[in-house]
Amino acid sequence: MGYHPGVEDDAVYLTAVKADLNPTLFPHDADFFRVQLQATIFDDCVAGFIRYTHIPVPVAELLLQFASIFLIIFSCWNIARKLFAEEWVQWAGVALTAAMMTLPVAGTALCLADQHLHPRNCATGLILLAVSRILARHPAQAVPLLLFAFLLHPIMAALGISFCFFLTVAMMERVHVWLRSLRGSLAAAVPLEWIFESPTPVWHRALQTRGYFFLYSWTWYEWLGALGPILLFCLLWRIAQRRGETILARFALAVFSYGIFHQAVAMIILKSPALVRLTPMQPMRFLHLIYYFLVLVGGCLLGKHMLKTTARRWAIFLVIINTGMFASQRALFPSSEHLELPGLSTSNPWLQSFAWIRTNTPTNAYFAMDPYYLASPGEDFHSFRALAERSQLADMVKDPSLVTQVPNLGPAWEREVNATAGWRRFQLADFERLKTELGVNWVIVPYPPPTGLPCKWHNASISVCEIP
C-alpha cells in the first residue's frame, strides 16, 4: 500500500500534531486544521505519545501507522476465526484484506486504509476488534473499544456502533425465529428528522468541489459498487442458512441489514434539500465497513473453495493480488517514493522545496501558492502545511472540505482563494498586492520565477521567493 505521510487528510491531522508540539507554528489560518479536530482526541494522543517517548515526529507517525495496520489485520483474523473453522481459509481472508488495503470504496473517495497515519485507520481497527468480540459472544467487551473509536473518529465510530447493533441483534436466536415466521422479510428504517439552518452561498460553493458527496450524480459503476456488495451478503445469508453455517449466516444478515438501512438513510438525506447540511457527514461512507467484510469473507471463500492447501495456487494468488495493488499505488503517486520513510532523501521537487522552507524560513512566514497546487503535476497531493510547517493561504483542493464541515470558515476561505485567482498569470505587482492585503510575505512559484521577484531557493521546477 505504500507509506505517504502528509498527503490528503494528513493536511489536517499531521499539521495539528505538529502545532500541538510547537504552538509557535502556524500563526495564520490555523483554524483550517484546528476547528475540525475539536471533535477528536487523535492529535492530542499522538502528540502526547511523542512527548512521552521523545521519538521524532516522522518516526512516531510511522510506528503508529504500523500499529494501526497491525490492529486492522489482527482484528480481521479474529473475525475470520469466528466465521470459518479451517486455518488456511482464515489466512486466505487475511491475505486478501492485507493486499487490498488501498481498494477504493465505491464513490466515497475512501480506501480501505489510508497510506498515512489517520484516525480512521485506528478507529477501523477498534471497530473490527469490537465486531470480533460480538461474534465471540462477548458484547460487553466491544463497548470500550467502540467508545475509544468514537473519541478518535466520531463519524466512522458511529457507523461502527450501528453495525455492532445490527450484529448483536442478528446473533439473537429469537430474532431468527421471528424472521423465519416472516419468511425472511426485513423491515425498513425511518431516517432522522433534523432541522438545520439555511446554508450560505459560500458553503454551497465549497460543497460543489466535493463531487463524491452527491449520490445521485454517481456513475452506474459507482452505484453497482454500492448496491452489489449488499446484495451479495443477502445471497450469502441464504446460502449459509441452507448449509447450516449459523455464525456466517447471522454475520451476513447483519451486514445486509446494516447496508439496507444506511443505503435508505443516505438516499433520503442526499435527495432532500431540507437535509443538505447533512451532506458533509457523507452517509455513503457506511460502505467502508461493508467493503472490509466483502474482501475478508471473499478471501476466505476463495481459500475454502479454490486455493485450499495447494502451495502453487497460493503463490499465484499472492503474486496477482499484491502486484496489482502495488502497480495501482505507483500510478497514484508516480512522482514520490513508494515508501516515504523518515530520513530518506526525496526526488519529488515539491517535497524538496517543502524541506528547504521548513529549515530556512522563519516560523511566522506566511506563504501563498497556486490554490490548486495539490493537484499540480508531480505534487502527489502532499500538504504544504503538514510538511513545510508554515502557514499558507487557503487552497481550492483540500480546504473546501473543511469549509463544508465548519461553515464559519467560509468567508475567510472565499476571500483568500479569490485573492489568488488567476495565479499562473501573477506578476510582481500581484504578489505585492497579496502582501498588502493579506500579509503574505513568501510565495512558491514555478522556476524560472516572474521578473523582479527575488528568490532564495529553487530546483529544476520550483522557486521559493520572498515578496519584497
d(CA 310, CA 330): 31
CA-nearest of 284, 450, 248, 301 to 368 is 450
Residue 237 has a pLDDT of 92
Q: Mean per-residue pLDDT for 184-200?
A: 41
Q: Alpha-carbon torsion 43, 44, 45, 50, what sign?
A: positive
Spatial CA neighbour of 191 closest among 287, 282, 264: 264
pLDDT digit string, tens, across residues 416-447: 999 999 999 999 999 999 999 999 999 999 99
CA–CA gap between residue 72 and residue 292 (Å, rounded): 10
Residue with more model confidence, 404 or 135: 135
Model pLDDT, residue 267: 77
Q: Specify the pLDDT at position 183.
A: 45
pLDDT of residue 298: 96
Residue 334: count other Cβ atoms within 10 Å of its Cβ.
11
Q: Is the pLDDT at 148 greater than 60, yes or no?
A: yes
> 186 pLDDT band (50/70/90 cuts)?
very low
Supply the DSSP string of 361-378, one letter for each residue.
S-TT-EEE--TTGGGSTT
223 compared with 6, residue with greater pLDDT: 6
CB 15 within 8 A of CB 26: yes
Tell me the CB-side half-sphere exposure of residue 195, using CA atoms within 13 A.
0
pLDDT in tens, 309-332: 899 999 999 999 999 999 999 999
For residue 336, is pLDDT > 80? yes
pLDDT of residue 337 exceeding 60, the answer is yes
What is the DSSP track for 312-338? HHHHHHHHHHHHHHHHHHHHHSTTS-S
Distance CA 397, CA 375 (A): 7
Can you give the pLDDT at residue 408?
81
Above 60 in pLDDT, residue 191? no
pLDDT tens for residues 244-284? 899 999 999 999 999 999 888 887 766 665 555 555 557 78
The DSSP code for 198 is: P
Give the Cβ contact number of residue 366 at 10 Å. Answer: 23
Nearest in space to 204 (alpha carbons), one of 283, 108, 276, 155: 276
Q: Which residue has the cell 451486514?
A: 255
Instruction: Tell me the mean pLDDT in the region 167-183.
Output: 66
pLDDT of residue 467: 94
Tabulate helix, strand, coil % of the chain (nearest 5).
65, 5, 30
Statement: residue 185 has pLDDT above 50: no
State the pLDDT confidence band at 175, using cuts at 50, 70 and 90.
low
In whole angstroms, what is the distance from residue 284 CA to residue 262 CA? 8
Contact 25, 389 (CB under 8 A): yes
Residue 107 pLDDT grade (very low, low, confident, very high; cuts 50, 70, 90): confident
* Domain spans in the chain, listed from the N-terminal domain onward: 10-54+341-466, 61-309
How far is residue 343 from each of residues 49, 360, 401, 435, measured CA to CA in Å? 20, 18, 31, 35
Region 19-42: what's the mean pLDDT? 89
pLDDT tens per residue across span 373-392 = 999 999 999 999 999 999 99
Average pLDDT of the chain to the nearest whole number = 87
